[in-house]
Amino acid sequence: MGECGAPGDVNSNVVIARSTGDAQLDKAVWQWLSWDKNQKTKEQIESLLQNGKHKELRDRLCCRLTFGTAGLRSAMGAGFCYINDLTVIQSTQGIYKYLERCFSDFKQRGFVVGYDTRGQVTSNCSSKKLAKLTAAVLLAKDVPVYFFSTYVPTPFVPYAVQQLKAVAGVMITASHNRKEDNGYKVYWENGAQITSPHDKEIIKCIEECVEPWNGSWNENLVDTSPLRQDPLKKICDCYMEDLKKICYHRELNVQTHLKFVHTSFHGVGHDYVQLAFKAFGFQPPIPVPEQKDPDPDFSTVKCPNPEEGESVLELSLRLAEKENAKVVVATDPDADRLAVAEQEENGCWKVFTGNELAALFGWWMFSCWKENCSEDADVKNVYMLATTVSSKILRAIARKEGFHFEVSVVFTMSSWQSFMCGTSVLDKDGVSAAVVIAEMATYLEGKNLTLAQKLIEIYETYGYHISKTSYFLCYDPPTIKRIFEKLRNFDAPQSYPKFCGIYNILHVRDITTGYDSSQPNKKSVLPVSKSSQMITFTFQNGCVATLRTSGTEPKIKYYAEMCALPEQSDRTVLEEELQKLIEALIENFLEPDKNGLIWRSA
């Protein structure tokens, strides 16, 4: 959207009782009051206007939501830069226009719409309502819509797009974000998140048709249109059947006495994780009663994000102790992420980092493939993927075992709890990951091993990969930009740092600009992503550290990993070296005191 609102004339009889004294802002207010049929959000703008809150009006109306991690994410509320009925309608109109251009069979193949359980009373905004409006825009244009009749895990939408051969799909969710947020996640016909240039072209199309069309507000079309189908039973049944393809020890699962506790963090995961355990032959995991059912307020956790570790698992761990369950699995509110904790012999709990789980998943999936592949199977046809900020342990395993390892630039599969096991769902999936980790734990118990003990074996075989990940909060975008621009002009213009304190930097890769000093032509082989900030430093001591912004939250994240050879087995020394380097990274590159950054709370 252009400066202050949207392009185009406003044909409306709406009269602004008070002028702001700014013609462009007056136009934006006029547009909002003309187009918005949600009484709650309309009243929010009217109240700001009547109370002379012109700065807040400008903040809300004079910029537009931009596509971040495969879609839109923001707080719910009134304004063109918030998630609300009107901005979802506008976004869907733009997607309709783009898909109509891309697919001649759009109106035969259809579109998938799913949603989680988020909501905000003050804006009369909920994921289900936003999903109904998304469907309404398309149904009014005679597009068949596969609209789930109830909330589903995020991975069900990309899975449905593939299974139903739809042209695209949208999931209304803000995943693990705070309760005030919601989002609009877009998947292409291949079941993967949209990438460039689709995102940029969709934005252009949104800007060309911002005024709601006739029928776009008719959310009742979901209940009355013959073009609407409910794919829930078919997709759920097919998904659970496909899960069995990565179940390798069903007989052990049926017989095990190992108990599991599962929490869904007040989100969508409970029913679906129960079904996944059943598909693998397990007894159902023990649910955390206070967190089993959907609750848009996430009333028992400060933040429904597995990344926060033991602090958000408190209820799960206490229940596990009571029930004598040795393993806890936690899915985030839209069930695309997984956290895992295991009770140690001393009674304490080990909460695995995402990178540690990646090592376990990598070992497990390759071992199962080796045991079950045909005699003529070629290991060179095996691939594993990790993102730029994930552990390099899969690379180490691949080098030793002979399969392929590739790096992806997709930020959402972060070094924290995001995993994709198998190829049925081409996105991160906490439901399948939860039941795979349960089977892994069951198998290892039969070998008198815990998950933690197996992790040590993996590191001793392929080399220790010690990582630490955290973040700073920064609510001032110019400060974030200044921090990263300083790194690009460190000692001189267009010159990246050669040292970080006492640590020598061998290579620098900047995904934002496309620079990579390790390449002969100095150009990154990974796709450029100008919409976010991301710089990776490779150090002479074997450490790799990445600084990047979040696509969905006001955070500057850092990811640091010490990659050691198998013969470097003194973990304490490696951890101390990594910690010193992180301290140097924060002091020299982020300068939190100078830049007013807020440290992550414990």
Q: pLDDT value at position 103?
A: 98
380 phi, psi to nearest 5 deg: -70, -10
Whether residue 182 is predicted with pLDDT greater than 60 in this model: the reply is yes
Whether residue 535 is predicted with pLDDT greater than 80 in this model: the reply is yes
Closest CA to 288 of 308, 311, 269, 310: 269
Q: pLDDT value at position 477?
A: 92
pLDDT range class, residue 26, cuts 50, 70, 90: very high
Cα separation of the two ends of the chain = 39
Indicate the average pLDDT of the chain. Answer: 92
Task: Please compute the mean of the pLDDT values over residues 269-280 and round it to a whole number.
Answer: 98
Question: Long-range CB contacts (< 8 A, 24+ apart) of 57-60?
Answer: 57/20, 57/25, 57/28, 57/29, 58/4, 58/22, 58/25
Task: Please compute the mean of the pLDDT values over residues 502-512 and round it to a whole number.
Answer: 96
pLDDT in tens, 330-364: 999 999 999 999 999 999 999 999 899 999 999 99
Q: pLDDT value at position 532?
A: 86
Q: pLDDT value at position 70?
A: 60
Task: Please compute the mean of the pLDDT values over residues 455-471 and round it to a whole number.
Answer: 94
In the chain, pLDDT over 70 holds for what percent of residues?
95
Whether residue 270 is predicted with pLDDT greater than 70 in this model: the reply is yes
Q: How far is CA 397 from CA 177, 384, 540, in A?
A: 33, 10, 22
Whether residue 214 is predicted with pLDDT greater than 60 in this model: the reply is yes
DSSP SS3 for 437:
helix
Q: Estimate the share of the chain in helix, then strand, then coil, as percent rounded to the nearest 5.
A: 40, 20, 40
Whether residue 12 is predicted with pLDDT greater than 70 in this model: the reply is no
Amino acid making up residue 81: C
**Which range (28-42, 79-93, 397-411) has the least confidence?**
397-411
Q: pLDDT value at position 291?
A: 97
d(CA 25, CA 48): 12
**Which range (2-16, 208-222, 479-493) has the least confidence?**
2-16
407, containing H or E segment: strand 404-408
pLDDT in tens, 197-213: 898 899 999 999 999 99
- Which residues are identified as catalytic? 175
Whether residue 301 is predicted with pLDDT greater than 80 in this model: the reply is yes
Q: How far is CA 555 from CA 179, 362, 495, 552, 558, in A?
A: 17, 29, 25, 9, 10
The predicted model scores a pTM of 0.89
Q: pLDDT value at position 14?
A: 52
Higher-confidence position of 593 and 19 = 593
150's tokens? 């109830």
Q: pLDDT value at position 300?
A: 95
DSSP string, 70-134: SEEEEEBSSSTTSBSHHHHHHHHHHHHHHHHHH-TTHHHH-EEEEE-S-EEGGGTEEHHHHHHHH
The Cα diameter of the chain in Å comes to 79
Task: Please compute the mean of the pLDDT values over residues 532-555 and round it to a whole number.
Answer: 91
Task: Please compute the mean of the pLDDT values over residues 517-545 and round it to a whole number.
Answer: 91
pLDDT in tens, 154-163: 999 999 999 9
Higher-confidence position of 118 and 19 = 118
pLDDT in tens, 363-415: 999 999 999 999 999 999 999 988 777 888 999 999 999 999 988 754 333 33
Spatial CB neighbours of 102, under 8 Å, sequence gap ≥ 6: 167
Closest CA to 430 of 191, 208, 263, 585: 263
Q: pLDDT value at position 68?
A: 61
Q: pLDDT value at position 7?
A: 45
Amino acid making up residue 512: T
Whether residue 420 is predicted with pLDDT greater than 80 in this model: the reply is no
Amino acid making up residue 367: S
Domains with residue ranges and CATH for the chain: 63-232 (3.40.120.10), 246-461 (3.40.120.10), 464-599 (3.30.310.50)
